[in-house]
Amino acid sequence: MTGYTASFEPAMRLALAEAVLAEAVLAEAGLAEAGLAEEGQAGREPPGTGPEHGEPDVPVGAVILDEAGTIVARARNRRELDRDPTAHAEILAIRQAARALGRWRLTGLTLVVTLEPCTMCAGAVTAARLARLVYGAEDPKAGAAGSLWDVLRDGRLNHRPEVIGGVLAAECGAVLSEFFASRRPAGGSHLPPGAG
């Protein structure tokens, strides 16, 4: 790993912490309280969630950095919590950064995410004009930054961000593997499609 690539490790550790936070809160409290605190609903369990309802979100975390390396946004998957198929960590972080900066063009910013983005999220990276995508684990079943598809480097698009993959890949992959291992039946070994 080059020094340039390694320079993104601290930000990836923050994204990992964001991903693990959701899992830890659910494991310790049986609630999705951490995600609700942002909306002033801390302490209240949303209807239909909790250990007796549905599944927790896949632990994917994302942070967006400005040119100086300051965090502009941070998010984690909330598809199950929000019952929203678009509530991927990347999409939520992009929305948060756009609100914080008051603009949709996020030129000069870097998205750091624990799992290679899917096609929806890769499209959002392009649409937001992010300068750079840094991801941890590859997603061979749904990845759109080089594994299955390579949306971000497609020469037909009007914007192509720099893509850096594999930053803390083993650690990011371990979080996902542990999550899915705890949910699959004994003897099962496959990840569900679109896990990210």
**Active site residues per annotation:** 90
Q: Are 17 and 61 in contact (CB under 8 A)?
A: yes
Based on its alpha-carbon atoms, the radius of gyration of the chain, rounded to whole angstroms, reads 16
- One-letter amino acid identity for 105? R
How far lies 132's CA from each of 108, 142, 159, in Å?
Answer: 8, 20, 11
C-alpha torsion sign, points 139, 190, 192, 54: negative
Secondary structure of residue 9 in the 3-state scheme: helix
Type of residue found at 96: Q
CA-closest candidate to residue 29, choices 39, 42, 15: 42
